[in-house]
Structure 1
Amino acid sequence: MDVGIDMDRTYGAFFVGYSYSALRHIVHTIFISALESQMACSFQGVLTLQTYTYFITYPSDHILLKSLVAAVWLFDAVHLGLIAQPIYYYLVSNWGNAAALTASTTQFTLHMIFVALPSLACQFFFLYRIWMFSDRKHVLAGILAVPCIAAFAGHVAIVVRIMRDFSVEKYSQQTKEMIWAISSSASADLFIAAALVWYLQKSKSPGVELSGLGPYRRTDLLLAKVVQYTVATGFATSIFGFAVLATYLLSPKTFTFIGMYFSFGRMYTNALLVNLNARRSLRESIFQHTETVRISHLRSCQNPPGEFSSMAHREGADSMSRVSVEDRCAACGADKRDRLSGQL
């Protein structure tokens, strides 16, 4: 019976997409598809490990931050269950029933909400960082919140329209809404990451040259590493979003894009958890670098006996001014470091 649906490019892509979101605990088999069939659960398994690591490593974090982490993990877990149900429905319960392939299930339709929810929650977390770095000014964060909310609204609109008659064909009729939702989210990610990088670069210290590794330099090293994490995670979600959009535009009447779309929300959860879990390693790396530079500086200050008196004379003449500068820099550097720690 011909139902007018390309099975390979719709439900075939749907199956591969679900498998991409699943656990990659299966060993290599003869067929490459055995690995691809676990991709969605694999991502969820990684996020579960990251979530566990977060709660073990940062038990003193604010209850709101802990609630955010728990919520986005729960959204992703529910999403995994929602995309598992239609797999069983189409390939087991209705095996051989061609008419069933033309209908969308409630779970399959609702899964889009649980892609949009963790995305919006994580985006607002990074908007909060922008608000903190901008000295609690609402303008930029408010502007960037608009496309984030618009993307969520686009996903909700698609779900509402499809649930009117639960037809698979409805997905191909939501082209404008799908483009709006994905492009808004990806564009927002791009601007959020760029704004964070700009504020972090702006927070760097002025060119004050001090011996050793002073407070300014330690803070700048921390900022440099935070910028790296921001670029790696913030721009990654944006690139992934545009890749999903490009895949959809190439074949809007099929489910080819769904393989990537299933993991769209998990990309945001991953970005959130990577940034939160990286805080301790960032501080430890700065501490290790500080100790290394101090030891190196002490060795470089060892002078021949003949040079000691002239060096002491020069240091005596400059001691008062140097101590004054270092005191001011220490106070300012410590203040910046405290502010940065609070914002991270």
Structure 2
Amino acid sequence: MLVFEATQVIPIILVQLPTFKKQDRFATDTPSPRSIVPSSPHPAPNLSFPDTSYSNDMGIPDGFGSALIGGLISAMLYGITTLQTSVYYMHYAEDAPTTKFLVAAIWILDTIHISFICHMLYYYLITNYGVPTSLERIVWSFPASLLVNVLVVCIVQCVFAHIIYCLCRHRVKWLVTAPIILLILVHFGFALETAILMFINQQFSILTQARFYAVAPALAIVALVEVLITVSLCVLFYDGGSRSGFPRSKRLFHTLIIYAINRCCLTLLVTVAELAVNLDQLNNWTIGLDFIIGKLYANSLLASLNSREHLRSKDEGTLPDLPVSTIHFANPLKLPGVVESSKDGTKQFIVPEVAVTDTTTDPVPDKTMVLQREGEV
């Protein structure tokens, strides 16, 4: 009987032994926290981190990362605007009061624009950090910055349209400038519509809804106006250079053509890029590029005004291109052969001595070429 019982017990131990080892592997001597922590009537605080994974395309960092980059670049461009404004008032104090007021207005609007940008970024990235629902709401400084930005662009384009009007011939003045001014007004209307919709709706979804009937047409018109202004300036400068008989003037007009093209390239490139990302439904990059475009227009106007002194100094430093010699009369007060007429009292020069000095070549010290010529005058 003992042998039988042993044979019955040993297999049971062998079978249950792995079960005991598996329990020992996960078993711990430390009691669970729930068994030692007394129950409290107050709920335990939630120590989890805020969930920033938001499905909206304006989330962090996918959305406002690009907006932050655009804001930083815009702040750098504002510094350049301030520098150019101070340079203008230091070197062009003799300009008309209208031009001085225009420069001051551009700088003030640019300052207001960068202030709205800073408020917008601080609101979303600092004040409402960790609040995903705040990313759905449009803060008031965003449409306000849009209005100021559009106002700067329209003012600068109107200034260049006025320049084209002054350079055009009388017959084609309004024929060239009227379409440009009309497109500028249409662009301002589309931008005003977008800003009003953002003030009323206060949801980022309105940008998607107004993409094809407000935002995209406004950007397309800006690009079209920029092309018209640049082409008009280049044609006028080229026509002025071709009609001029002075090579120095031709070089000056060619320099102005290069300036006009360079001004257009940067602003047009950013405008087309903003239009492309807007059509691709990338609202985040649209906001970032919109921060920059107004600063580019303000700097383009100030650079055009501040480059006048450089062009003048370059023009004055160039020697005359025509082979014109300066004629100096030797002893103009006592010329030989002077006969005074008895009828009208005029003097007649019979055989004067003339000294002609060629000043078209570089002067050489102690080697002045003087040609003595005799002739009847």
TM-score of the pair, normalised by structure 2: 0.69
- Aligned-residue offset at 1:135: 3.4
Q: CA deviation at 1:247?
A: 2.4
- Alpha-carbon separation, structure 1, partners of 2:279 and 2:217: 12
| Partner deviation per Cα, 1:68-95 (whole Å, 9 max, x = no partner) | 1111111111111111112111122212
Letter in structure 1 aligned against 2:318: H
Q: Partner of 1:166 in structure 2?
A: 202
Residue 171 of structure 1 contacts residue 253 of structure 1 at CA under 8 Å; is this kept in 2?
Answer: no
> What is the aligned partner in structure 1 of residue 72 from structure 2?
19
Q: 1:256 corresponds to which letter in structure 2?
A: W
Counterpart-to-counterpart distance in 1, 2:83 and 2:228: 29
Aligned AA (2:56): I
- Alpha carbons 2:137, 2:203 under 8 Å: kept: yes
Q: Indicate conservation of the 8 Å contact 2:247/2:321, yes or no.
A: no
Residue by residue over 1:296-326, the C-alpha shift from the partner in whole angstroms, topping out at 9 and shown as x without a partner, is: 94259xxxxxxx89xx79xx9xxx9xxxxxx
* 1:197 pairs with 2:234: yes
Aligned partners of 1:285, 1:299: CA distance in 2, in Å? 18
The 2-side partners of 1:78 and 1:299 are apart by 54
Q: Give the structure 1 partner of residue 354 of structure 2.
A: none
Select the residue among 283, 300, 304 that pairs with 1:275. 304
CA-based RMSD of the aligned residues comes to 2.9
Matched, 1:115 2:149: yes
How many residues of Structure 1 are paired with residues of Structure 2 in the alignment? 284
Mark the CA change 1:86 to 1:236 in structure 2 (over 3 Å): closer, same or farther.
closer
For 2:361, the equivalent position in structure 1 comes to 298
Conserved 8 A contact 1:20-1:259: no
Residue in 1 aligned with 2:279? 249
Shift of 1:258: 2.0
1:138 matched residue in structure 2 = 174
2:256 corresponds to: 226
Aligned counterpart, 1:239 = 269
How far apart are 1:253 and its partner, in Å?
4.5
Cross-structure match for 1:5:
56
2:97 paired residue number: 63
2:215 corresponding residue in structure 1: 178
1:201 is matched by which residue type in structure 2?
Answer: Y
Please say if 1:48 is aligned against 2:82. yes
CA contact (8 A) 2:147 2:192 kept: yes
Shift in Å at residue 292 of structure 1?
A: 9.4
8 Å Cα contact 1:218-1:286 kept in structure 2? yes
Residue 317 of structure 2: aligned partner: 288
Distance in 1 (CA, whole Å) between partners of 2:307 and 2:322 is: 23
Structure 1 residues 207 and 272, CA, compared in 2 at 3 Å: closer, same or farther?
closer
Quote the Cα distance in structure 2 between the aligned partners of 1:253 and 1:292: 56
Give the 3 Å change call, closer, same or farther, for CA 191–92 of structure 1 in structure 2: same
Provide the rounded CA distance (Å) in 2 between the counterparts of 1:290 and 1:130: 30
Q: Which has the higher contact order (CA 8 A, sep 6+)?
A: 1
Unpaired runs of at least 5, structure 2: 1-50, 324-357, 364-370
> Using a 3 Å threshold, how does the CA distance of structure 1 residues 132 and 11 change in structure 2: closer, same or farther?
same
Q: TM-score, normalised by structure 1?
A: 0.75
Distance 2:260 2:76 in 1: 24
In structure 2, what is the equivalent of residue 30 of structure 1? none
- Shift of residue 220, structure 1, vs aligned partner: 2.1
| Bigger strand share | 2
Letter in 1 for 2:267: T
> 2:110 & 2:273 partners in 1: Cα distance?
20
Shift in alpha-carbon separation, 1:120–1:293, aligned structure 2, 3 A: same
Deviation at 1:133, TM superposition (A): 0.6
Aligned-residue offset at 1:119? 0.4
Aligned pairs (5 A) from 1:146-165: 146-165=182-201
1:298 alignment partner, SS class? coil
Aligned partners of 1:116 and 1:152 also within 8 Å: yes
Q: Distance in 2 between the 1:95 and 1:279 partners?
A: 48
For residue 169 of structure 1, report the CA deviation from its aligned partner. Answer: 1.5
| Secondary structure at the counterpart of residue 262 of structure 1 | helix
Percent identity for Structure 1 against Structure 2: 23
* Structure that is richer in helix per residue: 1
Deviations 1:246-297 (A, max 9, x none): 22223x2531222222011111111101110000000101111227998994
Give the Cα separation in 2 of the matches to 1:67 and 1:142. 25
SS of the residue corresponding to residue 241 of structure 2 reads coil
Q: Is residue 277–residue 283 contact of structure 2 (8 Å, CA) maintained in 1?
A: no
Displacement, 1:206?
4.0
